[in-house]
Amino acid sequence: MRTNKKPASLVTHEGARARNITLRAQLRRSVLSCLLWESEFYEEGEEIGKRIANLTSQCMPEDVAGLAVEAREQMHLRHVPLLLLRELARHPLIKDRPQLLSKTMGRVLQRADEPAEFLALYWKEKKQPLSKQVKRGLAWSLRRFSEYELAKYNRDSEITPRDVLFLSHAKPKDEAQAALWKKLAAKELATPDTWEVQLSAGADKKETFERLISEKKLGYFALIRNLRNMEQAGVDVLEHQPDAQRLVQRPHPGHVHRVGEQPEVREQRRHRLQLVADHPVDQVREVRHRDEPAGLRRKDRLGLPGGRAVQVGGCGQGAVMVAERGQQHVVVGQFGQNAGAEGLL
């Protein structure tokens, strides 16, 4: 059998020639361009996860650790850094780096539910003992969480923050934390003061949102998610949180082109369209979805080669981009029941 052969050329999913890049660059591209387990246009989410795991074992542990920190701290991704930590924990060279994994875990596990999510990934294939570095990393991450954070994410899940505390054998940094962890172990944490808890208890919507905003207990995504609820309750977000001016901008009515909506609905959507405050806007177009079941795809809608499936929203956005070619500062907003998410795209 001949072995002196010219290597086959790398090609993209479209069949075009691709440039050969290093394994580290391949891993970085795969990690920073995906939401873990979410399918992309050419690949299924499971295949992307397998490729990330395979590339991790071929890269140096320091590169994997640095990429996990970059994905969490700079790109604000939450799940794919956990996969990198899991693969780093079984890297063949990790035993020669005594504190690399534990220190990386201490930086990456930033939210109170992430240590438990990491353990769920750690035991996804089979349940096995935790390594010394994993225990140390879990212990370091636990030291940063307050009673509010622990109570908020101490859900009825397979693995809870209480389980993480017992498994990691963490030592408190002071007496106050020791008292907090005793409450966690005894399941005596105070009920978290969140908008879900308050509204479920029958509290007034307007008073609840105004208080949480003024006390800075309503996070970024909670604020965005509840814009409609606050508007219906009569809450003036900009009055109670001036910083929201950078999050919620109401474009001039003359800048919005609306298609196929009743006037009152159009006004609501104009009111809720989110734009970056210091981004100059010349024109905004809305793309409306047809009333189709969520997740429905139609093949050959645009006559793409290979019969690839294209979502309706993607077709609409593409049409707007083509129509507005040559104009500057065009912002495309996607709205509708099946749009996937409301707001600026």
pLDDT at position 217 is 79
For the whole model, what pTM was predicted?
0.66
Per-residue confidence of the chain (345 residues) as pLDDT tens digits?
A: 677 777 777 888 778 888 888 999 999 999 998 888 888 888 888 889 999 999 999 999 999 999 999 999 999 998 999 999 999 999 999 999 989 999 999 999 999 999 999 999 999 988 899 999 999 999 999 999 999 889 888 877 889 999 999 999 999 999 999 999 999 999 888 888 888 888 888 888 888 888 888 887 777 778 888 888 888 888 876 665 555 554 544 443 433 444 444 566 555 555 554 433 334 444 444 444 444 444 444 333 334 444 444 455 555 555 555 555 555 555 555 555 454 433 333
pLDDT at position 121 is 93
pLDDT at position 231 is 82
pLDDT at position 251 is 42
pLDDT digits (tens, 9 = 90+) for 206-256: 888 888 888 877 777 788 888 888 888 888 766 655 555 545 444 434 334
Could you state, in order of their start, the residue ranges of all structural domains in the chain?
23-108, 195-246, 253-344
Q: Could you tell me the strand order of the sheet in which 330-335 lies?
A: 256-257, 283-288, 330-335, 343-344
